[in-house]
Amino acid sequence: MTVFDVDVVAVVIAAISSFALGGIWYSPLLFHKPWLEEAGLTELDIQNADHKLIFSGAMFLSVLAALLMAALLGKSPAIVDSVLLGLAVGVCFVASTLGTSYLFEQRPLKLFLINAGYHTVQFCLIGFVLAILS
């Protein structure tokens, strides 16, 4: 099924992959504790958060990211090109934008590296998934 030459199924699977990566990235397996510390959050803050809003919002934004990547990549992109575009988007758009905000907000470098790292890997993964499914 395609809409505007975008494979909707591939977009949804890429978005789910991106969402799942976030679950792993910010879990105790990887960066949960340092992310909490650097973000100034506690376990209690996480427990008291509006999980429905956070997770539904994150999933919606993952779909948006995957949709844009699919539109940029077009039909049947090469895996290398797709991953490289993901790397470029992650580093040049997301990390550079986050970095500017973090500098002015005087946020910790460690937090920047955790968050920018996630988004860079996220876009590489989205590109990879779209390439293998499109």
Using 50, 70 and 90 to split pLDDT, how confident is the model at 1? low
- Give the range among 4-13, 52-61, 92-101, 109-118 with minimum mean pLDDT: 4-13
Instruction: Record the pTM.
Output: 0.93
Span 29-58, pLDDT tens digits: 999 999 999 999 999 999 999 999 999 999
Tokens of 70: 């699919």
Q: Please report, for the chain, the start and end positions of each structural domain, with discontinuous segments joined by +.
A: 8-133
Q: What pLDDT sits at residue 18? A: 98
Q: Using CA atoms, how far apart are residues 105 and 21, in angstroms rounded to an integer?
A: 26
Average pLDDT over residues 73-92: 97
Q: Using CA atoms, how far apart are residues 82 and 60, in angstroms rounded to an integer?
A: 21
- CB atoms < 10 A from the CB of 105, how many? 9
